[in-house]
Amino acid sequence: MVKTTAQTFFSDEERQRIKAAVFEAEKRTSGEIVPMVVDTSYDYPRAEILGAVLLSLATGVTASWAFGDSSVWFFLPIFALAYFPFKFFIRYTPTLKRCLIHPVEICGEVEEKALVSFLEQGLHHTRNHTGILILLSLFERRVYVLADRGINARVPLHVWEEIVETVTEGIHQGLACDALCEAITRCAELLEEHFPSREDDRNELPDLILG
């Protein structure tokens, strides 16, 4: 069975493995690592409208030509009647909907979702500004890693691209849980040198967020 929503993407056993990976990682460092899985980063209403217009236009023109002697008065009601069914069809057909969205827009929306989630979940309030968000956005099939300023001041930005590649490749191979746990461990390795664990450390953030 294909896992398509944030709530069902990982099994209960996989969720426990991820939380355990976060727990072990945070024992080694004062950083806070938060994996987050969301259904989508944005609704993309423009894609639904564009797709519905194109499909309704094609349906109306074809029907008008075949049955209405190319009459505009035959075309218009067909177009109007087809628009909303096609719009809902696109909304609930992710593969088709993705084809109507430019990759640049997808990347921008995932990045914005990561930034907003970083603030909403309070990752910017950690004691030493050492929060890391690993965002999996399922509809877009994108992974985004966002680290707070305390970390980025010491860890090169290109390193996060390696984390993204690890998780993305794991998802493509059907090993999302393994890849995410590996990415969490890798984050701990990067943080351990600059932000070692301290006796008064406490877990400030959730170990896994499903939204």
In a domain, 206, yes or no: yes
Q: Taking a C-beta distance cutoff of 8 angstroms, is the pair 209, 41 a contact?
A: no
- Counts for the chain of helices (H) and strands (E), in that order: 8, 4
More confident residue, 1 or 126: 126
* 56 and 120 together in one domain: no
Count structural domains, the chain: 2
Does residue 6 lie within any of the structural domains?
no
Residue 1 inside a domain? The answer is no
Q: What is the CATH number of the domain that holds 184?
A: 3.10.310.50
Residues 122 and 53 in one domain: no
Residues 169 and 185 in one domain: yes
Are the CB atoms for 139 and 39 separated by under 8 Å? yes
Mean pLDDT, the chain, rounded, equals 90
- Do the domain assignments include residue 90? yes
How distant is the alpha carbon of residue 112 from its chain centre?
11
- Assess whether 198 and 144 both reside in one domain: yes
Same domain, 89 and 114: no
Amino acid 154: pLDDT? 83
Query: How large is the average pLDDT for residues 19-25?
Result: 93
- Domain containing 132 equals 12-42+102-210
Residue type, 188: A
Report yes or no: 78 and 60 within 8 Å, Cβ to Cβ: yes
What's the pLDDT score for residue 2? 46
